[in-house]
Structure 1
Amino acid sequence: MSRTHPDASPRTASEIDAATPADRDRWVDTLRVGSLLVVVLGHWLMVSITPDGQITNALAVVPALQPLTWLLQVMPLFFLVGGVAHAHTLESLERRRPEPRGRYAAFFRARATRLLRPTLAFLAVWVALGVVADLSGLTSRPGDAGRLARDALVMVPQLLWFVGIYLGACAFAPLMRDLHRRWGLVVVVVLVLLACVVDVVRFGGGPELVGNLNFALVWLALHQLGFAWRDGLLTTARGWAMALLGFGAMGLAVAFGPYPTSMVGLSGQAVSNMAPPTAALLAQGIGICGLAVVLRPVMARVLARPRVWRSVFLAGPFAMTAFLWHLTALMTVLLALRAVGVVQPSVASWQWWLTRPLLFAVLAVVTGLLVAVFVGFDRGPRPAADAVPEPRGWVDPVAAVSAGVLFFGILIVSIVGVDVLGNRPVFFLVGDVTPVVGFVVLAAGLLLLGATRPRAPRT
């Protein structure tokens, strides 16, 4: 799965279709764009502000909506297509760099840069908003306005959990690709079994902390399916088996196990299927990935139509930027409506359903404006993984360390928020941390990653 950028001049559907390599998996590109679009629409549907100024979730207000997450939780698809993309990139890198020294650093540096450039632009804006809110006294103001400002500075950056976890998958990709080459789908089976063992220990009276192992096991299992997809191991028959077994196991886990109905996290729940991920979420992920496998032949024929493929091709370069900024658009619109006295209808009422299309249209315009401003950070110069031999033997281990530091830095920021002047502590793993700590860890990871850059050639 490679990300492409349309030329500066308009291109017709026929031209784009003719320029697309015959071996390109168009369904993979569509899954990537489509999964992020579903996340955006899902957040727009779920998040609202109550009349008393509370940020709430429609799924928590109306539990009958929670089964929708069985199909709307599409992050497993993104990790699936991420595995496909990483397999392609690693194969290409091996051809260009026969010498293994420096290959890992080149791979991780390239992937991390593409993720972090737009992410850092997003964080810079939200840190600035937090500083303005603190200096103006908004965050310390009693009442709804102050609470909403404080909540927004924590709630909106929460979407960065995905960036952190996906960056972790990137860091493990070379190792997991090697394991796949040797053991194939056995690796997926082992990861699934280990994730189940973690839940047995966690819910059987063991330490809660052990559940955090599933942040790696669950998402790496789904990412590993991408390697199998790339190598043609996920046949239609296996796709049906994945869908039936995955959704069947999820249904049993929800009905008879300690797992909630919702496959997305909801505040106030004693158990979340997302933080940390559970075996129920893994089963749902395998099920929805199985559906993607089953639909692959049909969608390949649909995407062979030039006009259909053109829409996916042109949307691809904007998907990540839209994901980063869609909650900013949502909070901007909801707060603006509140400021002018427009009260949101009760969640799941007929008025609420009727006004969703209009709200979505407004949000799409605001998000489009934000994307137009910030998409340049996602389109910046790509770090080259050239074939020049790497004389520095230490770059690979340093890159691996930087991956771990960046992982924790982004996760801390996603949990504690960006209010660096307020610097309110929030619990993370084993103790309280503050936004400043998160940004210090993130900066350390960036410095380590920067140390692995290729040296400029001497003249």
Structure 2
Amino acid sequence: MGISARELAAATPATRDRYVDLLRVASLAVVVLGHWLMAAVTEDEQIGNLLAVVPELQLVTWVFQVMPVFFFVGGFSHALAHRSRPAYASFLRARLQRLLRPTMVFVAVWGAAALVLQLAGADGGLTGVVLRLVTQPLWFIGIYLAMVAFTPPLLRLHERWGWGAFAVLAGGAVAVDVLRFAAGVPFVEFLNFAFVWLAVHQLGFLRADGMIRRPALLAGAGLVGAAALVALGPYPLSMVGMPGEKVSNMAPPTLALLCHGLWLVGAVELLRGPGARLVARAGVWRAVVAANGIAMTAFLWHLTAMLGVYGAMLGFGVTLPEPASGAWWAQVPLRMGVAVVLTAGLVAVFRRFEAPPRPAPPTASGGPAAALGITLALLGVLGLSMTGFAGLLTGHSATLIAVPVTAPAAVGLALAGWLLVERAGRRRAGGGS
């Protein structure tokens, strides 16, 4: 049997920054609840976005678009992890195991289900939409893999230049948006997937070394900057992607989203004192430890649960009210409650794949193979987030960095990359495996 959350909580060293763990759990929980709330399924089995139905609600994304907080926390954790395990292959393997194992199980289960449904000709209507949408949250895992891959070189730059390393990445984001919006340079906007998210990640390095000393200034500058860019520039109000929008702040990320990230990071740092006192309570800390142990599994399966709720409602003839109507809002607690129960059931089935594996002895070799492996893995995961599982038998593809990719090819890339990192991370310094 594994170690219980109570035992893990009791064994927590006094030096651990528990507030970081609270932020990790809280940010993922907000993302999950946001996805559940934004999904607006109609009687004709189409899935819309609540923020498009009620545009005034887009302002709440300035508080509840918390993915920058998760990436900020990731930077903090990656800095500490790399310093304790500096060999590149060992570091990658250790960081990827609890990320890619549950992800590949999710991909295998949904891939098999999609194949069966399409062979049976039962992939129309809402089922077809689900097969297309269920993999979309995997973009987050692909970006996170890139952050892990770039941690060693960017951490070295941070240790040498501090805030200067962040400024270079932020300056890159500024340059990209200038070239995109002022000069009309095609395709340059995709560089901001790196510049914006790696800049947010870099803030985690700064926190790890106690270099965020004026969080109020950071939050104020970010909020003012985001507001000015939205008011005066070509940036939309919503900090999440909206259907049909010509410009999205999320895909690709914009300078406005980077400012939003600064505002959120400053805000959570301002709350550090009360947050630390909260998580110091034994019961709260046990809950945080337990939630961290299943967070990735819950994230992977939460859309499956919510879409399952809507599918069951349609299957049993329950009327789906017009999105954002009074009846629709009245149904929200019921839909959320059932989604929580379904997610808990899925977590109970699949949580064992997120359990921490036995650590392998550190190795000084395998760096190039590990670098190739994580590159393949992140390309595969990003590709699958774009293609979905619809059209497996018809060769449906999506364009990933100017190259068409199908779902089977994306799965193959992710699996090959994961296995390559595993093998490289296990190899002993003497060359054995």
TM-score (norm 2): 0.94
Task: Report the secondary structure of 1:158's partner residue.
Answer: coil
Residue 19 of structure 1 corresponds to which residue in structure 2? 11
Q: How many Å apart are 1:437 and its aligned residue?
A: 2.6
> Which digits, 9 at most, give the CA deviation of each residue in 1:244-282, with x for residues without a partner?
111111111111111111111122111111111111111
Q: How many Å apart are 1:48 and its aligned residue?
A: 2.1
Number of aligned residue pairs: 430
Alignment partner of 1:434 out of 402, 406, 411: 406
Contact 2:370 2:425 in 1 (8 A): no
Flag the 1:194–1:208 CA change in 2: closer, same or farther, 3 A: same
Contact 1:16 1:306 in 2 (8 A): no
Task: Report the secondary structure of 2:48's partner residue.
Answer: strand
Distance, in Å, in 1 between the alignment partners of 2:2 and 2:60 is 34
Residue 195 of structure 1 corresponds to which residue in structure 2? 173
Residue 79 of structure 2 corresponds to which residue in structure 1? 87
Flag the 1:440–1:18 CA change in 2: closer, same or farther, 3 A: closer
Flag the 1:400–1:92 CA change in 2: closer, same or farther, 3 A: same
Alignment partner of 1:315 out of 291, 297, 318: 291
1:157-236 pair list within 5 angstroms: 157-235=135-213
Q: How many Å apart are 1:430 and its aligned residue?
A: 2.1
Contact 2:222 2:261 in 1 (8 A): yes
Task: Report the secondary structure of 1:208's partner residue.
Answer: coil
Confirm whether residue 52 of structure 1 aligns to residue 44 of structure 2. yes
Alignment partner of 2:377 out of 397, 400, 406: 406
> Which digits, 9 at most, give the CA deviation of each residue in 1:99-150, with x for residues without a partner?
xxxx1011112212221100000001110111111111112xxxxxx13222
1:26-41 pair list within 5 angstroms: 26-41=18-33
Residue 240 of structure 1 corresponds to which residue in structure 2? 216
Flag the 1:317–1:52 CA change in 2: closer, same or farther, 3 A: same
1:34-433 pair list within 5 angstroms: 34-94=26-86, 103-139=87-123, 146-235=124-213, 238-384=214-360, 386-387=361-362, 390=364, 392=365, 395-419=366-390, 420-433=392-405
Distance, in Å, in 1 between the alignment partners of 2:244 and 2:202 is 32
> Which digits, 9 at most, give the CA deviation of each residue in 1:22-53, with x for residues without a partner?
11111100000000000000000001211221
Distance, in Å, in 2 between the alignment partners of 1:369 and 1:304 is 29
Corresponding letter in the other structure for 1:125: V
> Which digits, 9 at most, give the CA deviation of each residue in 1:291-348, with x for residues without a partner?
0111001211222222222221222101111000000001111011011111222222
Distance, in Å, in 2 between the alignment partners of 1:217 and 1:356 is 37
Q: How many Å apart are 1:243 and its aligned residue?
A: 0.8
Of the structure 1 ranges 203-212 and 170-179, higher mean CA displacement relative to structure 2 is found in: 203-212
Gaps of 5+ in 1: 95-102, 140-145
TM-score (norm 1): 0.89
Q: How many Å apart are 1:380 and its aligned residue?
A: 4.8
> Which digits, 9 at most, give the CA deviation of each residue in 1:353-395, with x for residues without a partner?
22211211111000000000000010152442x24x54x4xx1
Alignment partner of 1:446 out of 413, 418, 426: 418
Contact 1:247 1:287 in 2 (8 A): yes
Task: Report the secondary structure of 2:262's partner residue.
Answer: helix
Q: How many Å apart are 1:208 and its aligned residue?
A: 3.1
Distance, in Å, in 2 between the alignment partners of 1:313 and 1:407 is 27
**Identity across matched positions, percent:** 48
Distance, in Å, in 2 between the alignment partners of 1:188 and 1:414 is 28
Q: How many Å apart are 1:84 and its aligned residue?
A: 1.0
Task: Report the secondary structure of 1:376's partner residue.
Answer: helix
Gaps of 5+ in 2: none
Superposition CA RMSD, Å: 2.0
Flag the 1:131–1:26 CA change in 2: closer, same or farther, 3 A: same
Task: Report the secondary structure of 1:367's partner residue.
Answer: helix
